[in-house]
Structure 1
Amino acid sequence: MPTSMPAPSIRIPVELLTQSSFSQFGTVIENPAHSLAPRSQRLPLPDAVSANQGTALKFLNVTHMSNLYNLAPSKKPARGVMNMFVCAPRDLRPHEPSQSMPSSWGDMDFDDDADGNEDRQLFDVHILERHPFTTQTFVPMGLSQSDRHTQYLVIVAPTLPAAASRRHTDRPPPYPTPKIKKQKSIRDIFARARPSPFTNEAAPPPSQFSRLHPSQRPKGPGLPDLKNIRAFVANGNQAVTYGAGTWHAPMAVIGDRPIDFVVVQSANGIGIEDCQEISLVADKIAGEGVVVMVDSDASGKVLVKAGVGNVKANL
């Protein structure tokens, strides 16, 4: 059984999946020409070169991949693996009015904003997982961008500080990554001098993690920050990479049929280092726990209800 933590009663609106909105948690892989992101949220185009005798355009470094197993307690090396997940559509429950507060969007009333042409259902988030030492990339297959009947939700949460995690469960965080104890050599001690006697730099070189994209850096051993959990909807031409240690829900398909995902990650075969899970237990007073509000139009397409220009706060 995974470790459990109490979950507040909170309802989460769906956002559009864009690289700008998702950068804290990982990367979005898509052809920039097909992006649905508003121009205000589009990042600079990745570098591109001509390929295949001029018949293709090759975008470079479209995602950030990390293998941090050198930080794992066992020190057992990991290898790259590719698996396939055939994800069936999730069961949703009927919408019921709630006093729950959507996370990270302030005091907003989502129960009165739907018109007669929209249908609202609820997806209960019962479990979150993370892969503390590896990125994990999900690539959907056989799903068109124009497919209005089947999409998938990407549900993620930031990581709490370790001290806050202890308060939530009254015990240490689950499976904490150990602090790396490194003996300082004479060279390391003198390298901190200004200027360094070993280089022409006025300051010591930055740590290995400071050079990484924020989504690639170790997240620490803390529990998920449920008050800032977020949900994004992705279409068929978008793949997603979760940064190492990013708390996320198992892939949630919404619609008529399963989606086949090719999943790329590293693994060393030690279960507790490859994948860690947290069960979310609704507080008895709260009632329902963490819920994603899934609004859809008459065709079944999931509608975006949060993000720039999509919601108005009750100030």
Structure 2
Amino acid sequence: MPTSMPCPSIRIPIELLTQSSFSQFGTVIENPAHSTLPPSQRLPIPDAVSANQGSATKYLDVTHMSNLYNLAPSKKPAKAVMNMFVCAPRDLRPHEPSESMPSSWGDFDFDDEDADDSSNRQLFDIQILERHPFTTQTFIPLGLSQSDNHTQYLVIVAPTLPASASRLRTDRPPPYPTPAIKKSKSLRDIFARARPSPFTNEAAPPPSQFTKLHPSQRPKGPGLPDLKNLRAFVATGNQAVTYGAGTWHAPMAVIGDRPIDFVVVQFANAVGIEDCQEISLKADRNADEGVVVMVDSDASGKVLVKAGIGAVRAKL
């Protein structure tokens, strides 16, 4: 039974999954040529080389993979693993009017909009979040077309609270403490901190190994998920996604008519609490429903974007 934490009533609008909007949580993997964003909003194209006797273009380093198991309490080494998740469509409940939607986007009020008669609005209750504290996790959908409007998937993520804030919100220490990163103190480090070395141009010790990593790859600490800044993205069939190590996320949520097969790549050491940690979300006594994602769709079943880039009608 996972540890639980109380949560307020929050309704989250859906955003379009892009690398710029998702960068603090991980990486979006897609063919740059298929991007639906206008050129001004696209990130630089990854380095590419010609491959397969000129019949292919090879994009280099399209995602960031991290193995941080050297920080795990057990010190048990991990290995790269590849699994398949067959994810069935999630059950949604009918829309119930709400006065506002407190979220990272502020307070929205979508219920007074002139709703299109062909649109449909349903609710997805987030009951659990999980994280993999020492590894990235990449989900690669199989057999899902970019133009498939009847089946899509949601990527739901949350930042990590500082450990002190986690204690304040639950009156207990974080449930899954991770060890502090110990910095070695060599003679060189000690003297470098005291004053510039007369033998080199370095005035300080070399930076931590983690400063060289992409922000989504760095250790997140033991804190609980920051529910007030939870985000929900809708992915198309030509997008794969990598969760950064330690990123709180909901289990994969498929929306539509049929299951989606995902190939999942990560590291693991078979120590359960080090491979995966879970938090069950329980609505506060004064909360009506807890954390909810609003899923709006058109007549074809395509999920509509309500916030951020590509929003249909978002009131800021």
Q: Determine the C-alpha separation between the residues in 2 that align with 1:56 and 1:309.
A: 31
Which range moves more in the overlay, 189-198 or 153-162? Answer: 189-198
**Which residue identity does 1:305 align to in structure 2?**
K
Q: Determine the C-alpha separation between the residues in 1 that align with 2:57 and 2:244.
A: 26
Residue 20, structure 1, aligned to residue 20, structure 2: yes
Q: Of 296, 312, 315, which aligns to 1:313?
A: 315
Partner of 2:253: 252
What secondary structure sits across from 2:303 in the alignment?
coil
Q: Determine the C-alpha separation between the residues in 2 that align with 1:86 and 1:100.
A: 35
Partner of 1:175: 176
**Which residue identity does 1:297 align to in structure 2?**
D
Q: Determine the C-alpha separation between the residues in 2 that align with 1:167 and 1:59.
A: 45
Counterparts of 1:35-184 in structure 2 under 5 Å? 35-113=35-113, 114-182=115-183, 184=185
Give the root-mean-square deviation of aligned CA atoms: 1.4
Q: Determine the C-alpha separation between the residues in 1 that align with 2:207 and 2:194.
A: 14
Is the 1:25–1:242 contact (alpha carbons within 8 Å) kept by the matching residues of 2? Answer: yes
Q: Determine the C-alpha separation between the residues in 1 that align with 2:153 and 2:95.
A: 19
Partner of 1:219: 220
**Which residue identity does 2:33 align to in structure 1?**
A
What secondary structure sits across from 1:209 in the alignment?
helix
Q: Determine the C-alpha separation between the residues in 2 that align with 1:179 and 1:132.
A: 13
Is the 1:83–1:264 contact (alpha carbons within 8 Å) kept by the matching residues of 2? Answer: yes
Is the 1:14–1:293 contact (alpha carbons within 8 Å) kept by the matching residues of 2? Answer: yes
**Which residue identity does 2:29 align to in structure 1?**
I
Is the 1:127–1:279 contact (alpha carbons within 8 Å) kept by the matching residues of 2? Answer: yes
Indicate the percent of aligned positions where both proteins have the same amino acid: 85
Partner of 2:204: 203
**Which residue identity does 1:276 align to in structure 2?**
Q
For structure 2, the residue ranges without an aligned partner over 5 or more in a row are none
**Which residue identity does 2:11 align to in structure 1?**
R
Aligned length: 314
**Which residue identity does 1:313 align to in structure 2?**
K
**Which residue identity does 1:28 align to in structure 2?**
V
**1:198 and 1:78, CA in 2 relative to 1: closer, same or farther beyond 3 A?**
farther
Is the 2:6–2:283 contact (alpha carbons within 8 Å) kept by the matching residues of 1? Answer: yes
Q: Determine the C-alpha separation between the residues in 2 that align with 1:197 and 1:26.
A: 41
How far residue 284 of structure 1 moved from its aligned partner, in angstroms, is 2.1
Residue 280, structure 1, aligned to residue 281, structure 2: yes
Deviations 1:82-118, CA, capped at 9 Å, x for gaps: 0000000000000010124241111221123332111
Q: Determine the C-alpha separation between the residues in 2 that align with 1:99 and 1:112.
A: 9
Deviations 1:169-200, CA, capped at 9 Å, x for gaps: 21110111111345523232113244235643
**Which residue identity does 1:141 align to in structure 2?**
L
Q: Determine the C-alpha separation between the residues in 2 that align with 1:197 and 1:163.
A: 41
Deviations 1:107-166, CA, capped at 9 Å, x for gaps: 221123332111000000000000000000000001000111000000000000100101
For structure 1, the residue ranges without an aligned partner over 5 or more in a row are none
**Which residue identity does 1:274 align to in structure 2?**
D
Deviations 1:200-233, CA, capped at 9 Å, x for gaps: 3233221111111100111110000000000000
Q: Determine the C-alpha separation between the residues in 2 that align with 1:102 and 1:30.
A: 31
